[in-house]
Amino acid sequence: MSVSVKFTRSLFIRRIRTSAKFNRVPCRKKQEPSKAERPIKFYA
């Protein structure tokens, strides 16, 4: 269990860091984070 939790945490952190790094750069591979961030930008 602990190993799986650590793996999921590292994956989640990596996704957040990558989305923050390539936030302004349009990437086809990272469509999910961009879609999730788009509504937040519109509301903000």
Write out the residue range of the structural domain in which residue 34 sits. Answer: 2-43
Using an 8 Å Cβ cutoff, are 33 and 19 in contact? yes
pLDDT in tens, the chain (44 residues): 677 888 888 888 888 777 766 666 655 555 555 555 555 555 54
pLDDT at res. 15 = 81
CA separation (Å) from 27 to 12, 22, 24, 36, 39? 18, 8, 9, 14, 17
pLDDT at res. 26 = 58
pLDDT at res. 23 = 61
Rg (CA), the chain: 13
Sheet strands (E) in 1-44: none
Residue 25 tokens read as 């750069």
Counted domains in the chain: 1
pTM, 2 dp: 0.34
Question: Tokens 């989305």, residue?
Answer: 19
